[in-house]
Amino acid sequence: MFATRTIICIGVVVLTASLAQAATSDYTLVDHFHSQNFFKEFEFFSQPDPTRGFVKYVDGATANRDGLAGYYQNAVYLGVDHTNTTTSGRPSTRVSSKKAYTKGLFVIDIAHMPAGKTDNGSCGLWPALWTVGPEWPSSGEIDILEGVNTRSSNVVTLHTKAECMVTNTGAVKGSNLATADCSSGNGDVGCRQDTYAKNNYGAGFNEAGGGVYVVEWDTSVINAWFFSHGAALPATLLSSSSNNGTAAPAPDTASLGPPLAVFQPDESCQLNQLFKDHNLIINTDFCGGWGANDWHDDETCKKLAPNCEDYVGANPEAFAEAYWLINSIKVYQKAGNNGTAAGGAAMKKKREVRQALPFMA
């Protein structure tokens, strides 16, 4: 029964690959991270938080011992301590891919992201899924999925060292380009797109069963799409879904519809020079440069405690839902864009500095 089904599926996959060839044949799967290999391919970051968050990132052995990271329900679990009070920072996890990439098509299937059960529960949280290169901001940063406190929709942002003006023409209606220069605030602020859907971030994302982020970082544009698991995925994305094995062809991005966020640089902005050798990072921060400042402007959070740190330290139970559950991450690249070897070397030198975002409140 299962054998027959598998054979039928393979036939379908091959057919899809040839149909989609015009747009996607140049993308080849270079990495697939999932619930059997993830912790071999990602490493734990356990240094002090570069954004001065109220967090204590633990190493792999500690995460394993305390149940803060592991494989769970066929997915990758990355959590935080939600049992102890603390005055020195809440234990949490931050991982970084060992490989680095220059350009590519990233298909990130997430079942659950850090959130609160109630609006209160999100106070203090700053979850992020992002990519960054060495010597920040010289090699750029792409923030795919992040937010703080009671924000209910994702914010997608690029950060560069040199000026890079972008437009977001072609993005879904409602995505708003808040700042157009990706180097604004000396890179701290970046070019940021605010989105509006409640199912693309936090508790709303989880209620809909999570979703799939697709990021295409190419020579002349960076686009991010979002598809909720609350609705059928586009047909072209099914071929690369987490259940379809490592031979799955890349989705045809021309068939995905309007992106959630579009970063279309003007001619003076050279993405090839501003973005390179990015490691993929997934973390759950508390307070920090963005979250702690935003606390004082957040009508719900500021009523709970005089500052973010007091609340996060005293209310472990508020963070029971503050975990990532990653189904799968697939990385596709075009021939000649294979940054993995050089990126791996650069990774060791990397300072992993990420500045506060003082103007983002």
Ligand X SMILES: *[C@@H]1O[C@H](CO)[C@@H](O)[C@H](O)[C@H]1NC(C)=O
Contact (CB, 8 A) for 291 and 201 = no
Determine the Cα–Cα distance for residues 97 and 78; give it in Å rounded to an integer.
14
* 116 vs 190, beta carbon nearer ligand X: 116
Does 46 engage in binding with ligand X (CB under 6 A)?
no
**Binding residue for ligand X, selected from 341, 345, 353, 358, defined by CB under 6 A:** 341
Question: Any catalytic annotation for residue 309?
Answer: no
Least gap, CB of 265 to ligand X (angstroms): 25
**Binding residue for ligand X, selected from 49, 81, 216, 294, defined by CB under 6 A:** 81
Does 84 engage in binding with ligand X (CB under 6 A)?
yes
Least gap, CB of 44 to ligand X (angstroms): 14
Q: What are the residue ranges of helices labelled H in 20-110? A: 21-24, 38-41, 60-65
Give the Å distances, CA to CA, from 186 to 137, 156, 165. Answer: 8, 18, 14
Instruction: For residue 231, give the 3-state DSSP assignment.
Output: coil
* 22 vs 335, beta carbon nearer ligand X: 335
Please give the distance of CA 313 from its chain centroid, rounded to a whole number: 25
* 267 vs 336, beta carbon nearer ligand X: 336
**Binding residue for ligand X, selected from 41, 59, 66, 135, defined by CB under 6 A:** 66
Does 340 engage in binding with ligand X (CB under 6 A)?
yes
Contact (CB, 8 A) for 92 and 284 = yes
Determine the Cα–Cα distance for residues 44 and 128; give it in Å rounded to an integer.
15
Least gap, CB of 187 to ligand X (angstroms): 29
Does 6 engage in binding with ligand X (CB under 6 A)?
no
Give the Å distances, CA to CA, from 253 to 112, 245, 258. Answer: 24, 19, 10
Q: Of 41, 43, 135, 146, which is the active-site residue?
A: 146
Q: Write phi, then psi, for 320 (nearest 5 degrees).
A: -65, -25
Say how many residues make up the chain: 361
Does 7 engage in binding with ligand X (CB under 6 A)?
no
Contact (CB, 8 A) for 194 and 219 = no
Q: Of 141, 216, 309, 321, which is the active-site residue?
A: 141
Determine the Cα–Cα distance for residues 90 and 93; give it in Å rounded to an integer.
10
Q: Which one of 7-15, 152-160, 323-331, 347-355 is the stretch in contact with ligand X (CB under 6 A)?
A: 7-15
Q: Which one of 106-114, 131-139, 237-245, 264-272 is the stretch in contact with ligand X (CB under 6 A)?
A: 237-245
Instruction: For residue 209, give the 3-state DSSP assignment.
Output: coil
**Binding residue for ligand X, selected from 13, 162, 165, 180, defined by CB under 6 A:** 13
Instruction: Tell which positions 112-141 bind ligand X, by CB under 6 A.
Output: 118-120
- Contacts with ligand X by CB under 6 A: the residue count is 25
Phi-psi region of 289 (alpha: psi -120 to 50; beta: other; left: phi over 0): alpha
As a 3-state breakdown, the chain gives helix, strand, coil percent values, each rounded to 5, of 25, 30, 45
**Binding residue for ligand X, selected from 36, 37, 83, 85, defined by CB under 6 A:** 83
Query: Which residues in 178-267 belong to E strands, given as ranges?
Result: 191-194, 211-217, 222-228, 261-265
Site string for ligand X, 277-316 (x = CB under 6 A): ---------------------------x------------
Question: Any catalytic annotation for residue 216?
Answer: no
Positions marked catalytic:
141, 146
Site residues, ligand X (CB under 6 A) = 9, 12-13, 16, 28, 30, 66, 81, 83-84, 91, 118-120, 238-239, 241, 243-244, 304, 333, 335, 338, 340-341
